[in-house]
Each structure stands twice: as C-alpha cells, then as structure tokens.
Amino acid sequence: MSEIRLQVKNVSKSFGITKALQDVSFDIAKGEIHALIGENGSGKSTLTNSLTGIYQKDSGQFILDGVEVNPRNQVEANNEGISIIVQELGTLDGLTVAENIFLGHENKFVKCGIKNTGAMNRKATELLKEYGFERIKASDMIEHYNFEDRKLVEIVKATYFNPKIVVIDETTTALSGEGREELYKQMKRIREAGNTVIFISHDLPEVLRLSDTITVLRDGVYIDTVKSSDVDEDGLKKLMVGREVSGEYYRADYGERVSDEVVMRVKNVTVPGLISNVSFDLHRGEILGFGGLSESGMHEIGKACFGASFDREGTVELQDGTQINDIPTAIAHSIAYTSKDRDNESLVMNQSIRDNICLPSLKTLANKLHLLRDGKLKKFAQQFAATMSTKMESVDQFASNLSGGNKQKVVLARWIGKDSDILLLDSPTRGIDVKVKQDIYQLMDKMRKEGKSIVMISEELMELIGMCDRIIIMKDGEINGEIMRDKDMDENTLIAKMV
Amino acid sequence: MANTDKQVTKDSALKKQTIINMLRSALPIIGLVVVFIVFNTLTKGNMWTSRKLILNQVYVVLISTVGVFFIMTMGGLDFSQGSIMGMASIVVCMLSKVNIVLAIVGGVLAGAAIGAVNGFFYVNRKIKSFIVTICTMFLFRGFIKYMASNSPVAASMKVYDYDTLGIKLGITLAVLAVSFLVFRFTKFGIHLKAIGAGEKATKFAGVRTDRVKFLIYVLAGAITGLAAFVNIVKNGSATANVGNQLETQILIALVLGGMPISGGAKVRFENIIVGSLLYIVLNNGLIMMGLTTQAMQLIQGVIFLIFVALFADRQSLSVIK
C-alpha cells in the first residue's frame, strides 16, 4: 500500500434537517486516481465541496499529508494544494482567459497595487502552450469560447500549480470524446507526478477503466472502498444501490406499436439562442424521449411546448387545433410540465403542499359562487399526495421541508390531480433516489397504458433507453437524430449523435 | 439507529418551529392588550374615555391598509399610498359639490388610476415596486401641492352629513368583510400568497401572474380612493399635506400586526386589524403621555425595527419585488 495522502475522518454535514454526510471516514493514497461513486444525493459532491472549501463541514477532519486542513474557500484550498473542476461551468464571464486561470491568485502579478496584465497573459499563454491548448488565447474574453474550451481552461486553472489533490466532479458528461481524452491524459499526468485525483463520475465503465481505487457512498454514509481490479460493473451497482437491481426497473415491453394518432404537433419551433427549427409529433400513449448534452437546448423543448418560452417562434398545435402560446392555455388543454429547476419553477417552496397541489385545479375546486372551502382543498391534496405515496407530516407542511424525491412527488401529484393528458417531464428523476425513481418509472408506464402521452427530457441516457418508445437526440439546438425503442440499443448509439 | 436519530432531530426541529410560529402569531394580540393596558394605567383611564376619538382615527388607516396588505402578500410594496390618498381626497372634495355618489365614484377611480400607473411600470416595465411607488409618491405629491398649496380644496358642506359612526364604521366593515372573503375563500387569495412565496413556480402552475400583479395595484389604489371619502367626511377639506405619510403608517401598522415583510404563505388577514389598532393605540398613547413629536418618532422607529426583526421570514428572504 502506498503512502496516504488524505485521511477523511468522521466527516458529517447537514443541510437543515437533511444529513448529507454522516460520519464518513476513509483514506486516499498518493499517486492514485480515486473514484467516488454513488447514487444522486449520496453525498459525493458534498464531500468534495467540503474538502475544497465550497461548503463548511459540520464536524470531522480532513488530514492532508498528516496535517489537518480546513479551507474556508476555494482560494485557501488552492493554497493548501487542493483544487476542483466542478460539474457546471466554473469559469466567469466578463473576465479574460488569463484572469480566469489566475482568479484568486492575482497577487503574483500585482506590484504596488497595479496588476501587470502583460505578465499575467504571458504566463497564461505559456501554460496553455504547455498543455497543448495553443488555440486558446490568454487575452481573449472567456465567453468567446464554447463550453468545451472553457472546461479546458478550467483544467489548466485547477492543475497548473501542481496541486496535491485535484477533484474532478462529473466533468466528463459535459465533454465530447476529444475533450474527455484530454481530461484523461491530464488525470494520468497528475497521477504520474505522484499526486492524487479524486474522480466523481456516474459512468461506471469509465470509472472502472480509469481509476485505481473506488469508494462508494450511499445516502451520505460510507459503504466501501475497493480496488478497481477486484470489481465489475454489477458489483459496483450493487454497492451503490444496496441490493440487486431488478430487471423491472424500467419498462419491460419491447415491440409494442404506438398509436398513429397525433396529440401534439410541434412545427418549426425556434427559441433564439436555445433551439432552432425543431419539429416533431407526439402520439397518443407514447413516451417520447429527448436526449443530448445539457447545453444542447433539449431542456427548452419542454418549456416551448408548455408556452413558457420567451420569444418563441413556430407553432405548437394540439389535436383539436388549439395553439399553445401561453401557460394558462396549455394547462387548460390538459398539458402538464415539470421543470428541471424543481425548486424555482415547479414548486412554490414556501407554500403548503396543499396549495401546491391545488394551484392549477382551483377553478374546478371552487363552488358556483367561486368560493373555495379549506376542507375540500385539503381532501383533494391528501388524495393525490397519497396516490403518489408522498412522505410528509401533513399537507399543511411547507414544500421546502421535503426531500428532492418527495418534492417531485408533490409536483406529479398536482398534475395527476389535474388529470393532464400530455405530460412534459424535464429531468423527472434528477437528484432522486432509486426507490422513488422506480415509482416514477412505473407511474409513467401506467399513464402510457392509459393513453396519456409523455415527453421525457433527460440527461440520463439509461432511463431514456429504458423508458422511451422513441428518442430524439438534440445537438446545438437542433434535432440530430431519432432512434426507435430497441432492446439492443446502448448508450454509445446515443452518444455518437450527441457530440 | 442512524435513521431514528435523524427522525428525532427532525421532529424536534419541527416542534421548535411550531412553537416559534405560535409565539409569533400570538405576539401582536398580546402586544395590543399590553399596550392598551399600559397606556390606560399611565394616563389613568384617559385613553378609555377618549376611545371614540381614537376609533375615529382608525377607519382611514384600516381601510387603506387592506389594499397594501394584498400588495405585500404578493411580495410587493407601495409607498405611494399617501399621495393616492391626497389625490383622491382632492377629487372627492371637488366632485362633492356636484353629487356625493359621484364624489365616491370619482375618488375610487382616481385611486385606481394611480394604482394602474404603478401597476403598469411595475409589471410591464419590470421596475421594482418600491422604486416605482416612490417615484409616483413624489410625482403626485407635487400635483397635490400644486392644487392645494394656496388654499385647501374645500368639500361641499353636505359631506358633514355623512360624518356618522354608521357610515364610517359601515364602509370600514364592508371593505374588511369583502376583502376577507376574497382573500380566504377564492382562488385569488391563494394566487396572491403563491406569488409572494414563489412567483416563477406560480407562473408555471398556470397563474397569470402579471395580470394579478397589475390588478392588485389598481385595487389597492381604488380601496385607498374609498378611504379618501371617509377622510374628507371627517375633515371637510384637502390640504397640501393630505394623506402625508399614510404609507409609513400603513407599513408600520402591518408590521405591528405581524405581517412578514416578504409576504407569502405566512400572512394572515388578522394582521390588518390587529396592526391598525395597535398602531393607533400606540400613537395616541404616546401623544397623551405628552411626548414630543421627535421622541414619538424615535420610539416608533425602535418598535418598528424590533417587529420587523421578529417577523422577517428568513427562510424565504429575498429581495422585495
């Protein structure tokens, strides 16, 4: 066993009443790529964010090379020799490439309070050249570059000072094949220099191929650390989920014919800057999937069909000829939408579960004088919260106190209560544990059989493959291919069209 | 084991939350009783004897508070209430010479019109409500000064006929009753609270939020326009200072009544009544104690600050819209 670089000792962290990390302890060695895996919400990011000073842990210790470290922000973490490449964009608009690389470390270039921009740019150019990214110019504004190049800048930013630990948090999903290879190369380079990479990824084959050691977390609790050479994918899955994943997780049927009846016709829909010229038909009883990179514009599809997009062109037409151009019309014609941004767009957080469920159905709940009775609202909310088996104290509780999975259940309960026929579900299982995921998949299957139509937008390819009758792949705001449900379809077919 | 621990902390956290919430909702009523008793003792029962006089001041504040209550429920603010009151009062005075019914209608319409100006800039031009209403406050105050500086605008002598307890109390109770019904038992009330608690999500649940927001400002203006009639009935004329600082009085009244300044699901209709009474009792008590205006403002400021701190809903703390 090689020398220990980082000891994680009894680390705990809570957000309000949710315990994101509970008493987690394990060791990470020098010169290894150490993968951290687990379901959504298992605490991977919370752990690395605490290590890099983005969050403050509640208790426990991080011991780096025998010395306790307690960074209060990312700059302090950098000074301790810890850096991070985050999942989302980690570079700031309005600054140059060089300024982004040296963010928080400008002091090196400051003399008598004046920043030496020339020296900073020279140093950045030198670094970019060293990494082989010559096409990126140090003095350019960062927003001139696309997502991928900005990720490369982030790699430079996080690694140029030869840190002892580099955290890479689910970065690969955002990168194309070429970008991934570049990242893999850098990860190996760090390992060869005797430093450590903490690698978070959902892509198990990738994890097995790249990492030396794998630590599994589940619901904020440490489960196990294993050598990559000793496990396979199924073994990892079992550790992550805590039981055998049964075959009934997704839909089981194949080869069922979808009705020819079109319930929604989307024609030449364009939302400036997000999607352009998208057309498709949604059939009765169909689950239509949308996949792509998260920047591909697919998340706008749901909003556009719901009449919620700003400045949309083109038409969204229902079977009876109704044009959908605003949200109230969409809802009145039995369309439901669950947003990816659940906390801001789907749920009124500081409002009771009761009101959240009743909100779109108030018109039908009112009596002839347009008056509403508390008892009736409560009964309605209770009925549909129970249909979704929502875990809660009572319907008077605020939605903000619920866990991610239960929040999503409340959102779905609202639309089941409204008895919507067309459901636009954007990332319906994002950040939700396996059990609730399964519930949602089963619900979708049931609705499909009842003749309801579902548009499912998701970044998780496996659930698209498992659930959809048809998958449309988006790239750069346009449709880049359509794949029919097939038993033998694998992720690579989809990825090939995504990037 | 870990799970039961989690459960226990969750339970105790919720329990603590409920106790705090109960205390918070009881505080304004306790405050009202305490303040009333304290001032009665200090003034040796003087306050009770002059209760009619005190009550006479409640109507105008109470009525206009209703509109602002709606606005604050959906997370907005309105600083132009004093100027609305002033403009509407002038309109009422002028029209009262023609016909009393016309005067009432005119006052309401004048208030609604200014409310519509507020609503237009707030909703269509997307300017924060406190900026818009501070602008209209100055704008219409300027108008009022222009119209009433040389000499107050006098109402017809006929208005004094309406200066009866029945009319003033009747209008106040009617406004309160209708608003209560609308707020508590129609979808409008739920929409308002939902906008205050999370506008974007409310919009995505199919509520025409922009329309609601606009209408609320018009409604608040109209209600204050009605209050202007009561004001003129009481005073008989509109001076250049008519309605001055009404917005502050309303704001203090609502906050004293336990209204969370960010609006949302935690607002209660009782906030209006308890708050207005508490404000008037406090104000009159301080006057009867013989305090100077400066000392009164100082004490009011301190009390205001304490109540805001107590009732600020930190969970949903966001910028006032």
pLDDT digits (tens, 9 = 90+) for B231-282: 999 888 888 888 888 998 898 899 888 888 788 888 888 889 899 988 888 8
Chain A neighbors of B16, CB-CB under 8 A:
none
Q: Does B193 reach chain A within 8 Å, measured CB to CB?
A: yes
State the pLDDT confidence band at A243, using cuts at 50, 70 and 90. low
Cβ atoms of A165 and A195 within 8 Å: the answer is: yes
Range A8-24 average pLDDT: 83
pLDDT digits (tens, 9 = 90+) for B162-219: 888 889 999 999 999 999 999 999 999 999 999 998 899 999 999 999 999 999 999 9
| Same domain (yes/no): A315, A441 | yes
Comparing B213 with A144, the larger pLDDT belongs to B213
The size of chain A, in residues, is 499
| Same domain (yes/no): A344, A366 | yes
pLDDT digits (tens, 9 = 90+) for A197-234: 999 887 788 889 999 999 999 878 899 999 998 988 88
The verdict on a CB contact (< 8 Å) between B206 and A337 is: no
The verdict on a CB contact (< 8 Å) between B205 and A348 is: yes
Helix (H, G, I), strand (E, B) or coil at A354: helix
β-pairing, A67-69 vs A82-85, is unpaired
| Same domain (yes/no): A224, A278 | no
Q: What is the pTM of this model?
A: 0.74
pLDDT digits (tens, 9 = 90+) for A334-386: 999 999 888 888 999 888 999 999 999 998 898 888 888 989 999 999 999 99
Q: Does B186 reach chain A within 8 Å, measured CB to CB?
A: yes
Query: What fold, for B33-316?
Result: ABC transporter involved in vitamin B12 uptake, BtuC (1.10.3470)
| Same domain (yes/no): A445, A379 | yes
Tokens representing residue A65 in the block: 């090379």
Q: Which of B187, B206, B265 sits opposite A351 (nearest CB)?
A: B265
| Same domain (yes/no): A265, A238 | no
Q: Does B236 reach chain A within 8 Å, measured CB to CB?
A: no
Closest Cα in chain A, distance from residue B199 (Å): 8
Q: Does B185 reach chain A within 8 Å, measured CB to CB?
A: yes
Specify the pLDDT at position A389. 83
| Same domain (yes/no): A210, A351 | no
Range A253-278 average pLDDT: 90
Specify the pLDDT at position B3. 45
The CATH number of whichever domain residue A390 belongs to comes to: 3.40.50.300
Range B284-295 average pLDDT: 83
Closest Cα in chain A, distance from residue B109 (Å): 26
The verdict on a CB contact (< 8 Å) between A358 and B208 is: no
pLDDT digits (tens, 9 = 90+) for A108-133: 888 877 888 888 999 999 999 988 88
Tokens representing residue A462 in the block: 């496996």
| CA of residue A271 relative to chain centroid, distance | 22
For residues B75 and A351, what is the distance between their CA atoms, to the nearest angstrom? Answer: 13
Alpha helix ranges (H) inside A140-250: 147-159, 177-192, 204-210, 233-241
**Angle between the B51-73 and B165-185 helix axes, to the nearest 10 degrees?**
30
Specify the pLDDT at position B313. 57
| Same domain (yes/no): A372, A384 | yes
Give the percent of chain A with pLDDT over 90: 40
Chain B neighbors of A417, CB-CB under 8 A:
none
State the pLDDT confidence band at A287, using cuts at 50, 70 and 90. very high
Helix (H, G, I), strand (E, B) or coil at A266: strand
Chain B neighbors of A355, CB-CB under 8 A:
190, 193-194, 265
Specify the pLDDT at position A135. 87
Of A245, A280, A296, the last residue of a domain is: A245
Closest Cα in chain B, distance from residue A189 (Å): 41
Specify the pLDDT at position B320. 43
Q: Which domain holds residue A386?
A: 248-498
Of A245, A276, A298, the last residue of a domain is: A245
Q: Check whether B4 has a pLDDT greater than 50.
A: no
Show the beta-strand stretches assigned E in B80-154.
153-154
Q: Which of A331, A350, A362 sits opposite B187 (nearest CB)?
A: A362
Domain boundaries, chain B: 33-316
CB atoms within 10 A of CB A212: 18
Q: Check whether A8 has a pLDDT greater than 80.
A: yes
| Same domain (yes/no): A53, A163 | yes
Q: Which of A308, A350, A370 sits opposite B204 (nearest CB)?
A: A308
Specify the pLDDT at position A17. 61
Q: Does A351 reach chain B within 8 Å, measured CB to CB?
A: yes
For residues B243 and B86, what is the distance between their CA atoms, to the nearest angstrom? Answer: 5
Strand partners, A111: A114
Give the percent of chain A with pLDDT over 70: 95
Q: Does B14 reach chain A within 8 Å, measured CB to CB?
A: yes
State the pLDDT confidence band at A237, using cuts at 50, 70 and 90. confident
Cβ atoms of A474 and A465 within 8 Å: the answer is: no
Specify the pLDDT at position B10. 52
Average pLDDT, chain A: 87
Q: Which of B181, B194, B266 sits opposite A359 (nearest CB)?
A: B194
Q: Does B210 reach chain A within 8 Å, measured CB to CB?
A: no
- Which of these, A286, A274, A338, lies nearest to A478 by C-alpha position? A274
Q: Which residue has the tokens 């050479």?
A: A229
Domain count, chain A: 2
Residue A303: half-sphere exposure toward Cβ, Cα within 13 Å:
23
Q: Does B314 reach chain A within 8 Å, measured CB to CB?
A: no
